[in-house]
Structure 1
Amino acid sequence: MLLDITPLKRFRDYRLLFFGQLISFFGSMMTFVVVPVQMFQLTHSNLYVGLLGVSEFIPMFLLAFVGGALADAVDRRKMLRITEIGQTITIGILLANSLLPNPQIWILFLVVAIQAGLAGLQRPSFEALIPRIVPSEYMTAVSALNSLRFNIGAIISPIVGGLIASQFNASWAYAIDLVTFMASLLAVWMIQSVPPPDNADQPNLESIKKGFRYAISRQELLGTYLIDINAMLFGMPKALFPALAVSFGANSIGFFYSAIAGGALVATLTSGWAKHTHKHGLFIVIAAALWGVAIIFFGLSSNLYYALVFLGVAGFFDMISGLFRGTIWNQTIPDHLRGRLAGIEMISFMTGPMLGDAEAGLIAYWFDLKTSIVSGGVMTVVGTIILALLLPKFVTYDGREGLKRKMEEEEIRQTELSV
């Protein structure tokens, strides 16, 4: 079945966010590609490229908890506005640095760290806002539409960004990103206010602990976090793309990023069947394991076209996993905890790629590119199997029971607040 676009047709604020983020993300993906390319051009080191992920991880990890607590206690629209302004400023800094006669490496590390911190503050509010503007029964469709928005930008933009980086310089890509940010700024200024739930918990250490305890109390949530961390930590070879482009051709850099997004787009456009599927945990496990298998074949490929095909297959299964992870999160988490859990979600799906960059760079530094990629794919498959055995309730999780549980928890909370 084809993509369900009902949320776009029925809900104005979601429509504004969708198209604002769609335009902005086109520029953001250029920066996503060009920063590691610029770092590789300046240092000729896979290790330095991999360390970009480490510099992002620490601020993201710390501030995602803070962002989650704030998302449950303040107007979520206000959080989006403040962080969007901050991210726009960081792109301006990257642009200014790229125009220097000798661009500074330390500025690249500093800016990606600040961007990661701002994302840690913003993402929980964005994720927590969605269930407030779109009813729960549309969450599978929303997950598919969000992935469509992501993949449209992730297919075209890396190719354009890669060509710009190889044929011109990074300044052009950063300038385009700066201009496209205006669309997302406009969108967050036009949506309606989204105040916190009644009697919201105050943003403090105890409220953060409360969200964390809730997350680990449910195997279906814990499974979504651990499965994704495992798959991205070992299986994501993104840090090696600049070095691979040296052997496959400088203009190929953008195609590696786009191939993953292309496969994910195919999964998104054919995702209508997902709303009739309730064994969400089982599908996440299968998809994560198949992602690892595809990465193994990517690492073994010596032909560019075969390599891109296997990356596309990997992207297809990664999107299937992401679709059901998003459905579990948005359908089953009570609104008063949504921001804090969104912070934990962000940590789960960003920890893998960020630390995975360092892991891939280190293995390639000690051995070679092929060993790094293939071993990562193998570890992904093995880790997925082990986690499935350790989390049986996650594998057997039924989405219909999750919806019922959310309703019961919200009824209990309302009863407690009225007493």
Structure 2
Amino acid sequence: MGEQLHLNVNILNSGVFGGSWRHPDNPPTSAYTIEHYTRVARAAERAKLDAVFLADGPVLDGGLEHRSGNSFEPTVNLAHLSGVTSDIGLVGTLSSSYNDADELAHRLLGVDHLSGGRVGWNVVTTAGAAAARNFGRTAEPAHADRYTRAADVVSRVVEAWDGAADPSPQGRPVVVQAGGSTDGVELAGRLGEVIFSASQTLEEGIAYRARVKAVAERHGRRPEDVVVLPGVSTVVAATEEEARRRRATLAELVPWPYATARLSAQLGFDVSAHDPDALVPLDLLPEPDDADGSQTFYRLVLGIVRRERPTFRALLDRLGGGAGHRIVVGTPEQVADDLETWFRAGGADGFNVMPDVLPSGFDDFAEGVVPVLQARGLFRREYDGSTLRAHLGLPVRPLPLTDRPLATTW
């Protein structure tokens, strides 16, 4: 583990909470303007963060009456951000399930050149029937098939980057991956360089990080070349009481239909058909490897249900309306204490920060928490390099492509 931690900010439209767009700090349609992403990216660069992170899915959201969606395709947004920033890394999410490897390699390498070597690709396997229908399929591919295809697509994309006649200043974009399933951890350890993870407890974080690095070592890689960044949702205020009031307000603003629909997708049954104050029934929850949707978040939610035995209402509050990542509430010092504890204990190499409300919640983090981490010697005050690989301490060299699978199409 390095002496300093890494920090990304996830510009998740209006903020990580389902009702963030309804918060008094937020213009409700701000996430549909390019100025919104520009403002947060520039603030993150002033704070010397490693990267901004853009989530996405290849499907139109049918629930926009409940929550604002992603307004720009990631590579379009990253191309814009490359022109209004100079140093910060730029990570975009693009599906391995529904993109062509050759086209994807060309598109991402082009943006990497535009940015001067600051791009990362967050590889996702896309779950859900809505996305499948968007591409003319009647049902989503099986979980294992999605990961077989992902391994093949990543291998082909990296091969194309390695064979480019004119590589970018960082050699090629950084491969980012998020996965908590057995297949996902295998892909992460084999080909991922930055791993966006979801752990609710420090013990889970330590175990997950050790597991991914062990898989990387099994594939002939150096464990230090894999950077594990758990997602963390932050609610920051000047006093603990203010922070808790803000957290309570955000819980009240989450539309109930949005929260129940999201939890239903995570658990695999219709939550709205149950009494909100009834305990979540364990007998309806299969083992994680038997679940088909996003196993990462299913495992996370299942862990909470088994540990805490909550009601549906309490579970939705615990998840911030269904977002799912760990939520840290407190003063800048308290939030910094939490991040330092995880980092020093080996639960994280850094964090993918998901502010409660954007942009105000990130301003609170950048202007409050980051200076505390800097004063403790845990985070940089200036950039040491100009590429994303330099920020992350990753080498400019080819990834090993071991046991490459056969090409997979559907």
Query: Relative to total residues, which structure has the larger helix share, 1 or 2?
Result: 1
Query: Relative to total residues, which structure has the larger strand share, 1 or 2?
Result: 2
Report the TM-score range of the alignment, normalised by the length of the smaller protein: under 0.3
When normalised by structure 1's length, the TM-score is 0.26
When normalised by structure 2's length, the TM-score is 0.27
